Amino acid sequence: MANWKQTLKKNKQIAKFAKKRLELRNEREKKKRMARVKADPLKANRALFVRHFGREPDLDNPKDFNEKSMWLVHNLYANDPTITRCVDKYEMRGYLQEQGLGHLLPKVYGVWDKPSQIDWDALPDEFVLKCNHGCGCNIFCHDKATLDRKAAAKQLGKWLKINFAYYYGEINYEHVKPRIFCEEFLDDGNVQPTDYKLLCFHGEPRVFMLCTDREKGAKFTFTDENYNRLMWETGYHAGGQLPPKPESFEEMKRYAREISKPFPFVRVDFYDIHGKLYVGEMTFSPLGSAIDYIIDDGLRQMGEWLDISAYLK
């Protein structure tokens, strides 16, 4: 019995050490990859496109949405202070307030440069912790009493070390200062609230994208500006049957026009919480300008709406 227990203990230690070695190796590889991306962001962005589509993007004569989006990122957005401000999920709030749209913003309970500054006891029972500088860096807390604060702080610290400009070459994130902020928990009855994404071209919302089941990997459903179904989604992201049109549909479109007016393209994300609208974020280069969850016909149509001829000249 003693030998069996010793063997089990030794195997657990070996597995623990192996896991740690793998984590360290992955971390080293990530740092090397991000250093290469920093040296040539466009090359990295093109490589992401090739992985998704098996061909090089044509940036000399861009046609579809992804190609035009990538061209804008590397030629127009890279050092634009307004773009930098609006891709920052916290600083975006100032932009909306200046547009007279502060009522669309969730409450903020605090903003910090590092996890050690968080006053956990001062936070409400429900909240969302977010990093301002990238994608998917969110911790949803339904009950503060059961939250593992140490694990949450560790995860936030890891996220803060990432510069998303050097993740896939989205250079429009380069000048965003990484921070943590805490927002009110928006509850529409789902595990995570339904995300209503309006894809706006030259100040006009053209595509309505419903995002559900986000905690399971996200399902997408598309409509046009009149809520007519567009069968654009691909693969496991397919959302299925179109739900009834939200009562706030026209209101979302009106606000999206105001928000998107200065930009060739921006995606404005809304939440509808029992009839009250909130803006979640603004996105200028979805999926690193390599969207693979929309069919080719959809990407071509979006490319026609996104007119960058004046910039190309």
Could you report how far apart the first and last alpha carbons of the chain are, in Å? Answer: 79
pLDDT, position 12: 67
C-alpha separations of 102 from 57, 105, 280 in Å = 38, 6, 12
pLDDT, position 79: 85
Q: Tell me what the mean pLDDT of segment 77-89 comes to.
A: 93
CA 243 to chain CA centroid, Å, is 23
C-alpha separations of 306 from 50, 65, 145, 264 in Å = 22, 7, 48, 7
- For domain 41-312, give the fold: D-amino Acid Aminotransferase; Chain A, domain 1 (3.30.470)
Q: ∠268-274-279 over CA atoms, to 5°?
A: 20
Q: What is the pLDDT of residues 109-145, one digit of tens each?
A: 999 999 999 999 999 999 999 999 988 899 999 999 9
* Alpha carbon distance 160, 130 (integer Å): 10
Q: In which band, very low, low, confident or very high, does the pLDDT at 192 lie, cut at 50, 70 and 90?
A: confident
pLDDT, position 166: 85
Give the residue extent of every domain in the chain: 41-312
* Alpha carbon distance 82, 19 (integer Å): 43
**Residues 6 or more apart from 261 whose CB is under 8 A from it?**
203
Q: What percent of the chain has pLDDT over 90?
A: 70
| Residue 27 near residue 20, CB atoms below 8 Å | no
Q: What is the pLDDT of residues 269-282, one digit of tens each?
A: 999 999 999 999 99
In this structure, the strands spanning 180-183 and 219-224 are: unpaired
* Alpha carbon distance 278, 310 (integer Å): 33
Q: Tell me what the mean pLDDT of segment 103-109 comes to.
A: 97
Q: Tell me what the mean pLDDT of segment 99-110 comes to.
A: 97
- Give the DSSP letter of residue 118: -
* Region at 287 (left for phi over 0; alpha for psi -120 to 50; beta for the rest): left
